[in-house]
Amino acid sequence: MEPNTITSRGRDKNKSKQQFLDAVGTILRTKGYTALKVNNIAATAGLDKKLIYKYFGSTEQLIDEYIHSQDFWSNVTGDLVPKEVTDGGKDFLKRMLLEQFEFVSQNKALQKVLLWSISEERKSLKKLIDDQEANGEVLLKGISDPHFGDKASDHRAVLAILVAGLYYLNLFTEVNGSHFCGIDLKTEEGRSKIRQATSFLVEQTYSSIQEKKQ
């Protein structure tokens, strides 16, 4: 029998594979990566676990295939990159940081993946992180580095702290935490303060590091 590609049957390998991949996503979002067990995944997919071994080889490979299949940073990176940069990328970076802050807070899967990537050594996660880093590298090299000249790495260090800080604050808010340095991150008011501080820090960095360069 030839491999079924298009015909819609009740028994569809591709559909079943997708059900497993979806199940991985569902479990990851709701229970986190520690709940990604064969029995759990099979039950969530509503199919027999045997099929996981048949189609993916192992649970690990299924999970890796899930990771590779997702574009976790879609909204952040796929963002509008300005055609022309007149302010050294200040406005672009500001928007990027604020959008990332919002995007992460609304994207449970990305949150769990970020957490996962700092919790467990894993090739496919390292690749994910490295790829995202490479994406950022292109933007920085093309947009802000030229502006900061020999102070480029100083600006990058600042940016690293900002990106990392916004990541952590979002993760922190999800469990056990609400107030951080007295800011209530669960309220719109608190999050607004964080956004303002982000804008402020980008602004300051652009005016001051630029200053030093001249």
Shorter beta-carbon distance to a second copy: residue 55 or 172 = 172
Considering CB distances under 5 to 8 angstroms, the limit depending on partner class, which of DNA, a second copy, none binds residue 164? Answer: a second copy
- Is 200 a residue that touches a second copy (CB under 8 A)? yes
Q: CB of residue 12 vs a second copy: minimum separation in angstroms?
A: 35
DSSP string, the chain: -PPP-S---SS-HHHHHHHHHHHHHHHHHHH-GGG--HHHHHHHHTS-THHHHHHHSSHHHHHHHHHHH--TTHHHHSS---SS-SSTTHHHHHHHHHHHHHHHHH-HHHHHHHHHHTTS--HHHHHHHHHHHHHHHHHIIIIIHHHHGGGHHHHHHHHHHHHHHHHHHHHHHHTT-SEETTEETTSHHHHHHHHHHHHHHHHHHHHHHHHHH-
> What track of x and - describes contact with DNA for positions 24 through 63 (by CB under 7 A)?
-------------xxxx------xxxxx-xx---xx----
Shorter beta-carbon distance to DNA: residue 38 or 139 = 38
- Is 16 a residue that touches DNA (CB under 7 A)? yes
Considering CB distances under 5 to 8 angstroms, the limit depending on partner class, which of DNA, a second copy, none binds residue 1? Answer: DNA
Q: CB of residue 36 vs DNA: minimum separation in angstroms?
A: 7
> What track of x and - describes contact with a second copy for positions 124 through 163 (by CB under 8 A)?
-xx--x---x--xx--x------------xx-xxxxxxxx
Contact assessment for residue 99 and residue 75, using Cβ atoms and an 8 Å cutoff = yes
Q: Structure tokens of 211?
A: 């200053």
Q: CB of residue 180 vs a second copy: minimum separation in angstroms?
A: 5
* DSSP-assigned beta bridge partners for residue 184: 179
- How many Å apart are CA 64 and CA 162, to the nearest integer? 29
Give the footprint of a second copy on this chain (CB under 8 A): 32, 34, 115, 117-122, 125-126, 129, 133, 136-137, 140, 153-154, 156-169, 171-172, 174-177, 179-183, 193-194, 196-198, 200-201, 204-205, 208-209
Give the footprint of DNA on this chain (CB under 7 A): 1-4, 7, 9-13, 15-16, 37-40, 47-51, 53-54, 58-59
